[in-house]
Amino acid sequence: MAKNFTLHRIAFYIGIVVVWQVIAMSGIWPENIFPSPYEVAEDLAYGASDGSLFYGIATSMWRLSIGLAIAIVGGIVLGIFMARVEAINQTVGSLVLGLQSIPSIAWVPLAILWFGLTDGGIIFVTAIGAIFAVTINTYTGVKNIDPHFIEAARNMGAKGSQLITAVLIPAAFPYMISGFKQGWAFAWRGVIGAEILFSFLGLGFLLNAGRSLNDVSEVIAIMMVIMGIGLAIDGVVFTRLENKVMSRWGLR
């Protein structure tokens, strides 16, 4: 069944490319407005041959990795404190809910003022865009732990950091995985958006460079790379991890 699903997915994307090629060949729009798949593939090949594409991918992924790591660690710590300390939940919790509504791109002006046009500014936007999703899911996961389960762990001598690492985090992990997945999506959008506005290397920079040169095929090519990386990480990393955790907990 999984094999048939994969074949259907491949056929779907092939169909999109065929329709795209037909529309491009029809001449409804000029090539500089609606390039063909072949022209987009040529741009990808050129970017790969001169190394700019791989350098852009590596730069964006490096920023994403650091920003997401900061968001995951910070979100877990903050989420646990919110769930375990009511005073923090009533104060910081409401602030977290408010800050989550701010799009990542809205943090860019502040990042430029604080960090300048540096990697630090882009990493800040990446981390701040993801941390609140991780925080809220961690909070929800810890709050949903059966109190009797925590009390039993305490009776067996678990306390402090041991209670957190051996009881709270494992018990809340199914919720935390969802937070990581959401955080990754927000972080990926944040890093690309920040790179576009910072005009400082990375895939976002290449996207903006294509726009500056009125090169639609380059813009589409970089967008496809961004989408491909997103699908790959979501499918290879987070979906597999989520399925493994859910299966272990008997939720699937």
Tell me, what CATH number does 117's domain have?
Answer: 1.10.3720.10
Percent of the chain with pLDDT over 90: 25
- Residue with the bigger pLDDT between 93 and 82: it is 82
Flag whether 148 is in a domain: yes
116: left (phi over 0), alpha (psi -120 to 50) or beta: left
- Tally of CA atoms within 13 A in the half-sphere of 111 that contains its CB: 25
- The pLDDT of residue 198 is 80
- The pLDDT of residue 125 is 93
Instruction: Give the mean model confidence (pLDDT) for residues 157-168.
Output: 72
Percent of the chain with pLDDT over 70: 92
Flag whether 216 is in a domain: yes
Looking at residue 157, the DSSP 8-state letter turns out to be: T
- The pLDDT of residue 187 is 92
Residues with Cβ within 8 Å of residue 84, at least 6 apart in sequence = 142, 168
Is the predicted pLDDT of residue 164 greater than 90, yes or no? no
- The pLDDT of residue 249 is 62
- Residue with the bigger pLDDT between 31 and 104: it is 104
Q: pLDDT digits over 44-85, tens only?
A: 998 888 888 999 999 999 999 999 999 999 999 999 888 888
Dihedral pair phi/psi, residue 160, rounded to 5°: 60, -135
Is the predicted pLDDT of residue 2 greater than 60, yes or no? no
Flag whether 31 is in a domain: no
- The pLDDT of residue 1 is 54
Highest mean pLDDT pick, 155-164, 171-180, 218-227? 218-227
- Number of domains the chain is built from: 1
Angle between helices 52-84 and 119-143 in degrees, nearest 10: 40
Q: pLDDT digits over 8-28, tens only?
A: 778 888 888 888 888 888 878
Cα separation, 243 vs 57, in Å, equals: 27
- The pLDDT of residue 158 is 66
Flag whether 161 is in a domain: yes
**Overall pTM surpassing 0.75 (yes/no):** yes
Domain span at residue 137 reads 54-249
Flag whether 41 is in a domain: no
- The pLDDT of residue 124 is 94
Angle, alpha carbons 105-110-113 (nearest 5°): 135
Buried b (16+ CB within 10 A) or exposed e, 169-182: bebbbbbbbbbbbb
Cα separation, 148 vs 100, in Å, equals: 32
Mean pLDDT of the chain: 84
Q: pLDDT digits over 121-131, tens only?
A: 999 999 999 99
